[in-house]
Chains A and B, each alone.
Chain A
Amino acid sequence: MQKETAIKVENLVKNFGKGDNLVKVIENASFEIKKGELVALIAPSGAGKTTLLMMIGCVQEPTSGEIWLGEDKVYDNRWTAKDTRKIRREKIGFIFQAHYLIPFLNIIENITLLPQTNKVSEKAAKQKAMELLEYLDIADKAHAMPSQLSGGQNQRVAIARALANNPQIILADEPTAALDAQRSISVIKMLKKIAEEQNVAIITVTHDDRILPYFDKIMKIENRGIIFHTLDAERII
């Protein structure tokens, strides 16, 4: 069965600044990612990994090019929708190096905030949140505050939060950088399970080659463009 496309990028260009200060970060990047794929994004520091993620996530505007998310062309040399936030809250889940949970909301509120903004009823949102917490094995912490959880537990809550709005895409920027090797592997295994079971495309920026074997694909920014690596390439980082 042919897998559906989750993300398609064509001739994407991103420059910062102008004139003498012009910084070319991405030039003519084109690639495609299917639903259910767990993809690693690797490159040296400053190569533009976060920038690329933020463009796909409709947070930072590219300089030119085209971006499709699922069926929808969201960028065609300019945003096609007036409100990119609506795209973000309906289609995309974000995970970062730090959990960035809202400190004054408890765990379940942190997870249900976004779905409730999307007009999902409180009851349905809570039910879904509990399912996610159970799925990620921290259901007992549902009513705790983020400050009462460990770093690894909070990171799992952050993953639950990214999943709460049933996104088609999850963009994770170094989600394991703050975790030890064992926890990193368990987070990646979790992401892999989510990608497969929920049919979500996940792009994960990482510097950690110990977790690379768990990915379906490895995407690298090289010479300001994108190249794909096979896992059996000797050393990629």
Chain B
Amino acid sequence: MIDLAKRDIEHTLGKFLVTAMGVGMLLGIVLIMIGVYRGMMVDAEILLDDISADLWIVQEDTLGPFAESSRVYEDLKDIIYVMEGIETSEAMTFQNIQLPRPEKPVRVVAVGYDIRGLINPVNPKRLIEGRDIKNDHYEIVVTDKTGFKLDDKIKLGRNFYTVVGITHSTVSNGGDPLVYISLKDAQDLQFSYSNKEIQNNEARGVKNSETFVVNVIVARVKTGYDVNDVAKEIRKWQHKSVYTAAQQKMILTKNLIEKSAKQIGLFTAILIVVSTIIIALIIYTMTLEKMKEISIMKLMGLPNLLIISMIVKETLLLGVFAFIFGNIFSHLTYDKFPKRIVLEIPDAWALFGVVIIASILASFVGVKKVISADPSAAIGG
């Protein structure tokens, strides 16, 4: 049997391919949007995985350093350490800072950690140059995206910090580049006031004890202990909020990314609807252009099924070609975007399913036109 859809497409190949490319770009953007979401998921977990703590102990009734500000005293680390089931505990700080650069300052998240502690957030696997911090003061490890090189001097607060190490692809949960500094330096930057202010506070009888504050105590649990039980104990005695690694992940993905996911989901849905409408319009005009032939086919006695299957097949082919172009487009462009984009094959297949359904829906307008075509209208006169 003659493949009408194939013949028709061959006949209008240029137009068909251009349309498929146009729709393909829309689908490529859909894939990139999904990739942005996947990238956020990956980013969110990088720091958590690098720190790989079992427990996150934060200010009571707060969701922890990634969701809202949390302040706890540094010595809480020692109190936690002696609790049953705890193997190690460390204090850490997280703060947004700007690294000055000649062109434009870079916004980063600085992780402050105890350089002699047992929980080191600098993942050696991601360290591509230099070393982690060895001296208590004025050393910094930066991620390559910040643009700094080894031995660069960066002015933070009143002091110059030397870049001693470079990491690759470390980002905060929000996708900002990460830098690492010692806990002491971090506390200075985060909590110390100007000299004037300290003098004022002293005059008012307020002691400047803020530098003993950190954002979180992270802890690892001894093997054989259930993290949930240990967490429960700490909550009971220390009046702190305690999150297990799993809960921390939930907070990050659920609470923080959910909103973005909704936004991305909505954009994606709109783009898919737009693509469907474009496919439908193209198929409709392609059908309209063939109306005379379709009427003649009906008049000669060709069954509707033959004509409808031509329309549906053309629509599906348009969808499939657009999908292929979309994948090519997304793979050509994804690394040009500033934030991490993760293209996953299952997402592409899911989109493929959606495109097929959308194409079938889009073909309805053409099919309706075929069914209502009057065979005797073809021959007017």
Contact = CB atoms under 8 A, between A and B. Distances in A.
Partners in one complex: yes
Interface stretch (B38-46, B239-247, B268-276, B290-298): B290-298
Contact of A96 (B298, B306, B379): B379
Interface in A54-78: 54, 57, 59-60
A85 B2 contact: no
Contact of A88 (B10, B293, B300, B381): B300
B378 interface: yes
Interface string A99-139: 01011110001001110110000100000000000000000
A122 B301 contact: no
Given A54-B376, A97-B381, A100-B293, A59 B10 contact: no
A87 B8 CA distance: 27
Contacts of B293: 100, 102-103
A197 B8 CA distance: 36
A214 B94 CA distance: 101
Nearest to A117: B302
A59 B299 contact: yes
Contacts of B303: 85, 117
B301 A88 contact: yes
A60 B299 CA distance: 10
Interface residues of A, number: 30
A105 B1 contact: no
A112 B298 CA distance: 16
Contacts of B2: 105, 109, 112-113, 116
Contacts of A5: none
Chain B: number of interface residues, binned into ranges? 20 to 34
A109 B7 contact: yes
B375 interface: yes
A104 B301 contact: no
Contacts of A161: 300
Contacts of B292: 100
A224 interface: no
A60 B380 CA distance: 13
A143 interface: no
Given A87-B301, A100-B296, A103-B11, A116 B1 contact: yes
- Complex A-B, nearest 5 residue pairs according to Cβ-Cβ distance, in ascending order: A89-B301, A88-B301, A104-B11, A85-B301, A100-B296
24 contacts: A50-B379, A54-B376, A60-B376, A86-B301, A88-B299, A88-B300, A88-B301, A89-B300, A89-B301, A100-B293, A100-B296, A103-B11, A103-B293, A104-B7, A104-B8, A104-B10, A105-B4, A113-B2, A113-B297, A114-B301, A114-B302, A117-B302, A161-B300, A174-B381
